Amino acid sequence: MVLSHLTPAKREPEEASLRKLVGIFAACLALSTSAAVADEVGKVGVDWVGNDIMIDAIKDPKVDGVTCHVAYFDRSIIDRLHKGNWFEDPSDSSISCRQTGPISIGDIDMSEGGEEVFKQGLSLIWKKQVVNRIYDRKNETLIYLSHSRQVQNGSAKMSVTTVPLYGQNVVWTKGKPQ
């Protein structure tokens, strides 16, 4: 955007708008890189209209040696046209997490709500499939919860899996919590 043709009084609002736009873009980029990335490892067709069950592998970005597999339903374009609700996939999902290498735990959130490990859109704008990690200190276990998040009318559909740490040779990069 060339602003040299504007007077200084008119240039300031334009420059402020440009700075704001760059700031918003940078914030979105920073937020998008904080969660894990899913690798598609399976795709099973379930009917003749093209609906599929997708299976993704997700590595926990703060816990090396743990991989989660999430299965979810992906609606076909024919199904969307036939049933309406064009911009949304169902909230159903299943999750299984296992130790797939030596476990090394970084700086994880120890709060009761844990932290978001993965997020992907299930609708055009508002509905998200989310995986949260919670550390159960008393039982030395990582809990992974797969669920959907919506602005309103949240879903009770969820799936949970655990990775026991008891008796494992776990490395805590910030020291084991007491």
Confidence at residue 139, expressed as pLDDT on a 0 to 100 scale: 96
Can you give the pLDDT of all 178 residues of the chain as single tens digits? 444 554 555 545 554 444 444 343 433 333 344 467 778 899 888 788 767 788 999 999 999 999 999 888 776 555 555 666 655 555 577 899 999 999 999 999 999 999 989 866 544 556 567 889 999 999 999 999 988 765 556 667 788 999 999 999 999 999 888 7
Amino acid at 163: V
Confidence at residue 61, expressed as pLDDT on a 0 to 100 scale: 94
Confidence at residue 178, expressed as pLDDT on a 0 to 100 scale: 79
Confidence at residue 165, expressed as pLDDT on a 0 to 100 scale: 96
Confidence at residue 101, expressed as pLDDT on a 0 to 100 scale: 96
Confidence at residue 77, expressed as pLDDT on a 0 to 100 scale: 58
Q: Where are the domains of the chain?
A: 1-33, 38-172
Q: CA-CA distance, 147 to 72, in Å (whole number)? A: 11
CA 150 to chain centre: 14
Confidence at residue 60, expressed as pLDDT on a 0 to 100 scale: 94
- Go through 120-156 and write b for each residue having 16 or more CB atoms within 10 A of its CB, e for each that does not: bebeeeebbbbbbbbbeeeeeebbbbbbbbeeeeeee
For 88, which DSSP code? Answer: B
Indicate the SS3 state at residue 109. coil
Q: In what order do the strands lie in the sheet with 128-136?
A: 115-121, 128-136, 141-149, 158-164
Burial of 38 (0-12, 13-18, 19+ CB in 10 A): buried
Which pair of structure tokens corresponds to residue 162? 């655990």
Confidence at residue 1, expressed as pLDDT on a 0 to 100 scale: 46
